[in-house]
Amino acid sequence: MFNIQIKFIIIILLGLVILNCTKSDSVNDEVVAQVGEKKLLQSDISQILPSNLEESDSVLMADEYIKKWVKQELLIKKANENLTIEQKDLTREIEEYRNSLIIYKYKNELMNQQMDTLVTERQIELYYNANHFNFQLNHNIVKAIFVKVPLDVANPKLLKELVDNDSAEGINALREYSIQYAKAFDSFNDNWVNFELVKKNIPGDIVDEKQFLARNSQIELKDSNYYYLVSIQNFKLQNELAPIEYVEGNIKDLILNKRKIEFLKQIEENVYKEGVRQNKFKIYKLQKNRN
């Protein structure tokens, strides 16, 4: 009995300590803005400010947050003053939003657990062949090698020999040379890329890309500091059919998106059929309006 009384006293004392701490915190928590009865506290501001900000940046960020909060509270106050009780009743909207979120999460969970996300090369090929008219290029693309070397260490003859050697040894030798001497090096030899990626790295303007690509398989350029070598291994022009490997990522996304739509429709259909089998719902005839 004595032990129980001691425990009871300790609990009361702890409660008083917590209450005093809370009161102390609230007293020390300065009000930084107020709209009507709503108050924005210093602690609210502290929670949104990153700890690593400079003092001047913190002041600016806090000031922006306070203004945004005041505007929002003023709008809420104005809306509450001008809307009717019926207009302010958001019960139905909140319920619909909640239901939408629950359904969304449920469908997503089923997709993560059950939907087949494997897309084979054969499926990509079949989709490409059936829909090739949708895969026309809207820009020029290339397979290319780009090397940028300081003029004082550039060896154009050797570099061109390395670029022309497409054997494994030649590719490795080019990489080793570029690591040692090149300021920039990119090998798009195995992947198609937008020609803009190459063009922006070389000096001068290319007015007619089509003519330029048709006439140049190897491009040598210089400026005051660097020697540039661009080897165009292959190219496709705007409005031509895109190579399948260039669009296979997009095709995979399209296949998965179509599969996702069908999967979600099937979920709804399965739930409905289950409801019918288990007699989970009733549909009543609508009463005709009497004029």
* pLDDT tens profile 201-215: 888 888 888 888 888
Mean pLDDT confidence for 163-191: 88
Q: How far apart are CA 151 and CA 251, in angstroms?
A: 44
Contact 184, 168 (CB under 8 A): no
Residue 7's pLDDT band (boundaries 50, 70, 90)? very low
Domain CATH for 160: 3.10.50
Residues 95 and 76 in one domain: no
How far is the CA of 267 from the CAs of 111, 115, 164, 227, 276, in angstroms?
Answer: 10, 11, 56, 61, 14
DSSP letters for 131-184? SGGG-B-SS-EEEEEEEEEETTT--HHHHHHHHH--SHHHHHHHHHHHHHH-SE
Q: Are residues 43 and 180 in the same domain?
A: no
Answer yes or no: do 146 and 66 share one domain.
no
Residues forming a β-bridge with 241: 136
In a domain, residue 153? The reply is yes
Angle, helices 121-130 vs 244-277, to 10°: value is 100
- What pLDDT shows up at residue 18? 42
- Residue-number span of the structural domain to which 267 is assigned: 90-131+246-275
In one-letter notation, the amino acid at residue 119 is V
The reply to whether 289 falls in a domain is no
pLDDT band at 1 (very low <50, low <70, confident <90, very high): very low
Residue 250, domain member (yes or no): yes
113 and 143 co-located in one domain: no
Highest mean pLDDT among 27-36, 49-58, 66-75, 210-219: 66-75
Q: For residue 216, what pLDDT is reported?
A: 76
Q: Does any domain span residue 108?
A: yes
Is 120 domain-assigned?
A: yes
Answer yes or no: do 176 and 257 share one domain: no
**Overall number of domains in the chain:** 3
Q: Are residues 19 and 74 in the same domain?
A: yes
**Least confident piece of the model among 17-21, 178-182, 195-199, 232-236:** 17-21
Residue 232 and residue 144 in contact, taking contact as beta carbons nearer than 8 Å = yes
Is 172 in the same domain as 118? no
Q: Which residues contact 38 (CB under 8 A, 6 or more apart)?
A: 73
75 and 118, same domain (yes or no): no
Residues 186 and 157 in one domain: yes
Question: What is the DSSP track for 41-102?
Answer: EHHHHHHHS-TT--HHHHHHHHHHHHHHHHHHHHHHHHHHHHS-HHHH--HHHHHHHHHHHH
Residues 206, 67 within the same domain: no
**Side chain identity at 109, as an amino acid letter?**
E
- Nearest by Cα to 152 from 82, 100, 227, 208: 227
Strands 31-35 and 141-150: unpaired
pLDDT at 24: 38
Q: Are residues 229 and 251 in the same domain?
A: no
Judgement on whether residues 230 and 251 belong to the same structural domain of the protein: no
Q: Are 142 and 187 in contact (CB under 8 A)?
A: no
Answer whether residue 19 is part of any domain: yes
The contacts found for 76-79 with CB under 8 angstroms, 24 or more apart, are 77/35, 77/36
Q: Tell me: the pLDDT tens digits for 86-114? A: 998 989 999 999 999 999 999 999 999 99
Strands 141-150 and 193-194, by their bridges, are antiparallel
Q: Is residue 45 part of a domain?
A: yes
- 170, 162 contact by CB (below 8 A): yes
Residue 282 lies in a domain: no
Contact (CB, 8 A) for 32 and 45: yes
Report whether pLDDT(5) > 90.
no
Contact between 143 and 192 under an 8 Å Cβ cutoff? The reply is yes
Distance CA 93, CA 213 (A): 59
